[in-house]
A and B are shown apart, each in its own frame.
Chain A
Amino acid sequence: MASKRNKIEIIYDILFAIKEKNNRIKITQLLHKANISHAKSKPYLEELFEKELIKEITEKKQKFFSLTDKGFEYLNKLDQMKKFMKTFEI
């Protein structure tokens, strides 16, 4: 059974999902990819907007989420730490 994700893991999954979709993802796809409900995602997305890690872009009247440069940097940092954890696997 998979263990319960903590806050930073959920944030990682959200950022990773955006990056995976060529940095342009709709909210429904994001919720599906990050495996989170709409209600639960709200505070996380608010925090990510507040910290300028993600931004909203509108194309053909459709809203998408996208990573900012700061968001890419942060995701990269999290990725490195995850890799570090994986290589030690304690």
Chain B
Amino acid sequence: MSFYIYSPQWFSGIDSLLEIITIITSLIISYYSFKTYKLFEIKRYKYFSISFLLFAIAFITKIISNLIIIMPVQKQIILPYLTYTYTSYIKLDIIENISFTIHKITLLLSILILFFILNKEKNIESIILTSILIIILGFLIKNYILFNFVIILILSYIMIISIIKDKIKYRIKSLFEIKKYSNISKFLIGLNLSYLTLFLAVEEHTFYFLGETILALTFMSVLISIIKIFKK
């Protein structure tokens, strides 16, 4: 199963181009988070870096799984007095399957790590158990893409609520100050909206285009704010 089943025909391939923005931004976030961890020795940033690295890997493998990889094979037809050799092309399903499996695991893991960081979860046992349970569940459920959409929607929703609660409790005096929200809030709200729209693509494929565009715009906005910091 691949993502193109939800994509409108005219959008096939363009989604991969949009995902390149997601990959670049995720890699940049991962790199600077790791640098932050090395410099300030704050462990959260190490896990944050791993989370975004996995996010980048998830989207690289998504692009690969959407590619139709073909391999040339020499074939022969032996007729009386004549042997005809020609080149045929076969689709390499194995690459699609492997990359899709990696995509499944890395995307879920990246969101789970982010979820545990933001919820300040320190119980390693519960972290490992929850992660294993969700990943196994993902493999058991037939429509994994839908399962992914639902899990990301739920987790991002919980994370947004937890950030809002945290902000109200410690930092902001009124909800009008929400505009000052950090990149992480921007990212989570964008991710949530994007996956909500992607979920609707099951019924109407145009929503796939909308979901992918929202995701790309979210990452683009985060990328611009990072560039502004490091442009010197």
| Chain A residues within 8 Å of B, Cβ to Cβ | 6-9, 76, 78, 80-81, 83-90
Contacts and interface: CB of A to CB of B under 8 A. Distances in A.
Contacts of B81: none
A78 B41 CA distance: 13
Interface of A is mostly: helix
B111 interface: no
A85 B117 contact: no
Contacts of A86: 182
Contacts of B41: 6-8
Interface in B174-232: 182-184, 225-226, 229-230, 232
A16 B33 CA distance: 22
Interface of B is mostly: helix
B118 A90 contact: yes
A90 B166 CA distance: 11
Interface residues of B, number: 22
B35 interface: yes
A80 B40 CA distance: 12
A78 B230 CA distance: 11
Given A76-B232, A80-B230, A80-B232, A90 B40 contact: no
A8 B35 CA distance: 13
Contacts of A80: 229-230, 232
Nearest to B44: A90
B32 A84 contact: yes
